[in-house]
């Protein structure tokens, strides 16, 4: 009675069909044509996906082919240039480098005075008020329109309690409140899921900063204690600034870049 | 008895395929068209549906995977251990656990994003949220790719595991590699296990079945075990150890006394003693194989001593089961699978011992009380010494004797054939059982062609009967005419008799006419009198009839003629004369038909004539019916033939004129 290894056993006892290898070879040869027919006939989303996959395959193939051909051709090799090496005719000119450094510090000081910081996203699209708020009609005849509901993601903090509903002008719905952000360290290139401590500045205005609205470009403070950073003095760093790099209301999550 | 069969597990797709399947299903099965201008609730619902649908599908597929893979703690410990040995329980559980976690996380993702979608106020926002949700779910599944690949491999291997029933009667064959376990297996079962000269040919458990005393026994062939400490054993050896440990079976420990397997008897004995703890409570048998190379008696002293030690151990198991201490026949056996000497004896001994042990255990258990009352043979106690044999009536005995005699009495054709020389020599006379009027006609030869005609065409078994019938019919016609005068008993004057005859004749004529009319009514068209083809209704006929009644017809004829001949007077002058002749034609036709029956037309049309193209009379009748049916409709519509498509009036008045009582007259 056939056991678990019946396929191998049959092969051992009876060998292959007399035309097995020829058929296999021919079938594999036909695969090329079949694939091309499929690529030409496939419509819609299937066709697009297939085309994308095929494009990636072809790019890879081209690269490997180029790599194999590399060894046959010869190329010029540049000598490594020393850092700070200077050609002979400039040997006694060294003042320029210092000047650059000086002007950099001057620029930084000017920026500090102006209140501009070096951030990954210096400019963001301004968000209009009617995009930010939705007008809520209240009252018996629904004629009062002084309430606003925030339509963007917000951060409210753990000790937040609402004002009495009758008096609260800005409604921040709980479904749009976020406590955690996915923050990327720009040098380590890895992302951590860190708690938000607070909203430092929203580029669209101080009102939004006080409301805690998270839009693209907002500077937030995140809890980095799990990264284990230490100051040169020996103190543990537990809060750092990060900038929001996406539209949290469209993606359902807050992504940011750590400001080192 | 649960059959352990892991073939029913569905294929586990790999991660990318899995994602593709689910996403393409979402794309196909949910609505795809949405526009910016739709109501916001409709947009939200559209995208929420997609998110939920995807989540549901992921949940379903992952759940089937989790449920179909067996839980190692819920199955028989033999299979649990076997799967642990083969696949490592921890890895297995981790993989399934990862899938479970992914399933829950996907659920959470879907829930969160559906909550967010409720705040979506534009198509773009809802769409981005949906994209984010599906992307998150797919990323979770992508992380599962390792587990899914591992589970697929396991599934493929599990499907090929032998289906061993851990509770039924089993014989387990164990021993060193190359001692002849697989050859023995091939001999007693139909399993076709690979037998090769190198060690570890058998790499996993193999199952075969054999019968003994109408019961089915499972025989399990195990890979060879080497004598090593337990921790050093590899997976293959562990399979056999697992089988030994968990299956309640009879164990056949194979010993190669010739040493051709490469291991001495001392080594094999050492192995025996190291695994003898696994033989607890199992009927153990030592089988010495390869006796064709080295008989048991020719062993050296030391080897013999080792063998006897093993036998002593085996005897302990016999005693432990409460068997007689002196029964040592079934403990040490010799055989040779090459010469097949002693193979069956070994099998029978092993099966017998196992059966006895199982029966004993059953008898001791509590369940036996339920069964015992099912098979109780009641023997009545004899109350006196009188003999009471079974009583058979005399008639039955006689009938039996008669039947027995009859069976030999009747001589069959076969017996005749055998007597007269066999099949090729004797040809049976087929004509000897013919039933004929004269016995001498049996051997006559029948001619086939006579005077240029086929005799078969003229053969009719009922020919005499038909002749009689025909003569009777014809006779009747003649008799009928004469009968009129003999019918009444009263005396009539000759004129009265004449008148009576005339009246009767006319009556019968009318009746016959009516009958003809009625029989052809189905296929005769009903046409108004002005189209009468048979030319019955003529002015001359009217005149004759009126004059026979004693009236003067001339006025009536003139009136009729003036009406009918109103316009077409010039064209048809001769019609009147032509009409006269026809009146008698109908009679002529009837007479012709009755007199013109000759012998050659003595067959009724539905009678079967061989060679005419029909199989039997039924088919002929059917053909005639079909022919008539096809003609009927045309005749009814007074068409001259197939091609007659004349429409007498293209615009009949009743369709093209008149007001409607209700409705409009837009269309005519």
3-state secondary structure B145-161: HHHHHHHHHHHHHHHCC
d(C-alpha A182, C-alpha A190), whole Å: 10
Contacts 24+ apart (CB under 8 A), B15-20: B15/B141, B15/B142, B15/B144, B15/B145, B15/B148, B15/B149, B16/B142, B16/B145, B18/B61, B18/B141, B18/B148, B19/B138, B19/B141, B19/B142, B20/A49
Q: Is B25 in the A-facing interface, judged by CB distances under 8 Å? A: no
Interface of B with A in 625-654 (CB under 8 A): none
Q: Which residues of A touch B (CB under 8 A)?
A: 1-5, 9, 12, 45-46, 49, 134, 151, 173, 175-176, 247, 249-253
Model confidence over B446-492: pLDDT tens digits? 888 988 888 888 888 888 888 899 998 888 766 665 555 555 556 77
Of B20, B27, B162, the CB nearest to A4: B162
Residues of A in contact with B222 (CB under 8 A): none
Question: Residue B655: what pLDDT?
Answer: 87
Q: What angle do CA B402, B407, B411 make, to 5 degrees?
A: 125
Distances (CA, A) of A115 to A109, A201, A219, B307, B429: 10, 12, 14, 98, 131
Q: Are B605 and B564 a contacting pair, CB within 8 Å?
A: no
User: Mean pLDDT over all residues of chain B?
Assistant: 84
Contacts of B449 (CB under 8 A, 6+ apart): B455
Q: Are A154 and A178 a contacting pair, CB within 8 Å?
A: yes
CB contact under 8 A, A250 and B121: no
3-class SS of residue B206: strand
For residue B51, which of B109, B124, B125 has the smallest C-alpha distance? Answer: B109
* H or E element, residue A153: strand A153-154
Share of chain B above pLDDT 70, in %: 89
Model confidence over B373-385: pLDDT tens digits? 677 777 888 888 8
Of B128, B162, B207, the CB nearest to A251: B128
Q: Is B201 in the A-facing interface, judged by CB distances under 8 Å? A: no
d(C-alpha B408, C-alpha B510), whole Å: 74
For residue B585, what pLDDT band results from cuts at 50, 70 and 90?
A: very low
B93 pLDDT higher than 70: yes
What is the layout of strands, in order, in the sheet containing A170-171? A133-138, A144-150, A170-171
Contacts of B212 (CB under 8 A, 6+ apart): B347, B348, B351, B352, B355
Name the pTM for this structure. 0.63
CA dihedral (B264, B270, B273, B276) positive or negative? negative
Q: What angle do CA B33, B38, B39 make, to 5 degrees?
A: 135
CB contact under 8 A, A3 and B161: no
CB contact under 8 A, A1 and B133: no
Question: Residue B572: what pLDDT?
Answer: 47
The DSSP 8-state label assigned to residue B640 in this structure reads S
Residues of B in contact with A255 (CB under 8 A): none
Query: B77-87 and B235-246 are packed helices; what angle lies between their axes, rounded to 10 degrees?
Result: 170
Distances (CA, A) of A240 to A161, A165, A245, B236, B587: 26, 34, 16, 58, 130
Of A1, A46, A253, the CB nearest to B208: A1
B165: left (phi over 0), alpha (psi -120 to 50) or beta: beta
B53 pLDDT higher than 90: yes
Tell the burial category of B471 from Cβ atoms under 10 Å away from its Cβ (0-12, 13-18, 19+). Answer: exposed
**Strand partners for B171:** B219, B250
Rg of the Cα trace of chain A? 32
CB contact under 8 A, B129 and A251: yes
Model confidence over B189-202: pLDDT tens digits? 988 888 888 888 88
Alpha helices for chain A (secondary structure H): 6-14, 20-41, 44-70, 95-114, 129-132, 206-211, 248-251
Phi, psi (rounded to 5 degrees) for B497:
-65, -40
Alpha helices for B365-393 (secondary structure H): 368-372
**Strand partners for A222:** A196, A240
Low-confidence ranges of chain A (pLDDT < 70): 1, 72-75, 93-105, 108, 112, 115-117
Of A3, A12, A176, the CB nearest to B162: A3
CB contact under 8 A, B119 and A151: yes
Within B265-317, strands assigned E span 284-289
For residue B235, which of B92, B88, B90, B85 has the smallest C-alpha distance? Answer: B85
Model confidence over B355-411: pLDDT tens digits? 988 888 888 887 777 777 677 777 888 888 888 888 888 888 899 888 888 777 777
Contacts of B511 (CB under 8 A, 6+ apart): none
CB contact under 8 A, B116 and A252: yes
Question: Residue B113: what pLDDT?
Answer: 96
Question: Residue B583: what pLDDT?
Answer: 46
Q: What value of ipTM does the predicted structure carry?
A: 0.81
Within B451-589, strands assigned E span 453-454
* H or E element, residue B383: none
Phi, psi (rounded to 5 degrees) for B284:
-105, 140
Of A12, A173, A250, the CB nearest to B128: A250
């Amino acid at each position: 009675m056939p056991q678990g290894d019946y396929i191998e056993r049959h092969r051992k006892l009876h060998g292959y069909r007399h035309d097995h290898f020829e058929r296999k070879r021919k079938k594999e040869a036909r695969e090329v044509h079949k694939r091309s027919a499929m690529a030409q006939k496939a419509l819609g989303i299937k066709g697009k996906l297939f085309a994308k996959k095929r494009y990636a395959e072809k790019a890879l193939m081209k690269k490997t082919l180029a790599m194999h051909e590399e060894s046959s051709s010869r190329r010029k090799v540049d000598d490594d240039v020393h850092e700070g090496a200077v050609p002979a005719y400039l040997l006694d000119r060294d003042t320029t480098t210092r000047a650059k450094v000086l002007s950099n510090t001057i620029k930084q000081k000017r920026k500090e005075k102006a209140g501009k910081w070096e951030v990954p996203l210096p400019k963001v699209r301004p968000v209009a008020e009617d995009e930010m708020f939705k007008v809520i009609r209240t009252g018996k005849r629904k004629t009062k329109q002084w309430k606003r509901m925030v339509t963007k993601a917000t951060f409210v903090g753990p000790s937040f309690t609402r004002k009495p509903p009758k008096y609260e002008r800005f409604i921040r719905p709980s479904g749009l409140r976020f406590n955690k952000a996915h923050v990327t360290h720009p040098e380590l290139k890895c992302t951590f899921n860190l708690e938000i401590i607070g909203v430092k500045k929203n580029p669209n205005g101080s009102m939004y900063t006080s409301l805690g609205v998270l839009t693209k470009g907002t500077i937030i403070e995140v809890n980095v204690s799990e990264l284990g950073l230490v100051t040169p003095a020996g103190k543990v760093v537990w809060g750092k600034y990060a900038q929001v790099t996406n539209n949290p209301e469209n993606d359902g999550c807050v992504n940011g870049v750590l400001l080192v | 008895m649960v059959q352990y069969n892991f073939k029913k597990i569905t294929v586990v797709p790999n991660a990318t395929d899995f994602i593709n399947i689910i996403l393409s299903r979402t794309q196909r099965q949910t609505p795809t068209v949405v526009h910016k201008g739709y109501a916001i609730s409709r947009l939200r619902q559209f995208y929420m549906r997609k998110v939920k649908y995807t989540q549901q599908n992921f949940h379903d597929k992952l759940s089937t995977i989790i449920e179909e893979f067996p839980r190692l703690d819920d199955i028989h410990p033999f299979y649990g251990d076997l799967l642990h040995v083969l696949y490592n329980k921890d890895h297995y559980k981790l993989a399934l656990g990862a899938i479970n976690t992914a399933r829950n996380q996907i659920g959470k993702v879907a829930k969160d994003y559906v909550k967010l979608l409720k705040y979506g106020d534009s198509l773009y926002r809802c769409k981005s949220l949906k994209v984010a949700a599906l992307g998150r779910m797919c990323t979770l599944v992508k992380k599962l790719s390792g587990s899914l690949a591992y589970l697929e491999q396991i599934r493929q291997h599990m499907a090929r595991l032998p289906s061993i029933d851990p509770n039924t009667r089993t014989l387990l064959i164990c021993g060193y590699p190359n001692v002849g376990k697989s050859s023995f297996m091939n001999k007693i079962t139909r399993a076709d296990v690979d037998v090769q000269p190198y060690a570890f040919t058998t790499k996993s458990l193999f199952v075969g079945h054999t019968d003994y005393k109408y019961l089915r026994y499972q025989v399990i062939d195990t890979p060879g075990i080497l004598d090593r400490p337990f921790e050093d054993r590899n997976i293959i050896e562990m399979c056999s150890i697992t089988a030994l440990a968990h299956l309640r079976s009879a164990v056949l420990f194979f010993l190669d006394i010739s040493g051709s397997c490469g291991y001495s008897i001392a080594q094999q004995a050492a192995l025996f003693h190291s695994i003898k703890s696994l033989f607890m409570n199992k009927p153990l048998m030592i089988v010495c194989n390869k006796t064709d190379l080295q008989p048991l008696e020719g062993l050296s002293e030391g080897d013999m001593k080792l063998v006897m030690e093993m036998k002593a151990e085996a005897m302990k198991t016999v005693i432990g089961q409460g068997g007689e201490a002196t029964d040592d026949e079934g403990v040490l056996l010799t055989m040779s699978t090459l010469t097949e000497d002693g193979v069956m004896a070994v099998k029978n001994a092993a099966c017998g011992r196992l059966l006895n042990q199982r029966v004993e255990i059953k008898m001791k258990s509590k369940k036996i009380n339920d069964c015992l009352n099912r098979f109780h043979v009641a023997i009545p106690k004899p109350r006196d010494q009188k003999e009471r044999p079974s009583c058979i009536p005399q008639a039955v005995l006689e009938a039996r004797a008669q039947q027995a005699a009859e069976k030999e009495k009747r001589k069959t054709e076969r017996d005749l054939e055998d007597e007269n020389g066999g099949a090729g020599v004797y040809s049976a006379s087929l004509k000897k059982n013919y039933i004929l009027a004269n016995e001498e006609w049996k051997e006559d030869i029948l001619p086939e062609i006579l005077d240029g005609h086929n005799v078969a065409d003229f053969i009719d078994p009922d020919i005499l009967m038909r002749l009689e019938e025909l003569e009777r019919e014809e006779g009747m016609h003649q008799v009928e005419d004469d009968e009129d005068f003999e019918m009444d008993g009263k005396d009539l004057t000759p004129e009265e008799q004449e008148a009576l005859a005339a009246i009767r004749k006319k009556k019968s004529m009318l009746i016959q006419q009516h009958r003809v009319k009625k029989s052809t009514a189905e296929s005769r068209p009903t046409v108004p009198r002005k189209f009468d083809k048979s030319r019955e209704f003529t002015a001359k006929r009217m005149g004759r009839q009126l004059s026979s009644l004693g009236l003067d017809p001339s006025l009536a004829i003139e009136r009729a003629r003036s009406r009918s001949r109103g316009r077409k007077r010039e064209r048809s002058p001769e019609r009147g004369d032509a009409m006269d002749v026809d009146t008698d034609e109908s009679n002529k036709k009837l007479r012709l038909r009755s007199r013109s029956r000759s012998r050659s037309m003595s067959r009724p049309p539905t009678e079967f004539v061989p060679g005419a193209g029909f199989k039997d009379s039924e088919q002929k009748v059917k053909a005639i019916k079909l022919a008539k049916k096809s003609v009927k409709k045309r005749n009814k519509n007074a068409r001259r033939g197939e091609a007659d498509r004349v429409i007498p009036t293209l615009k009949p008045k009743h369709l093209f004129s008149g007001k409607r009582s209700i409705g409009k007259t837009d269309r005519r």
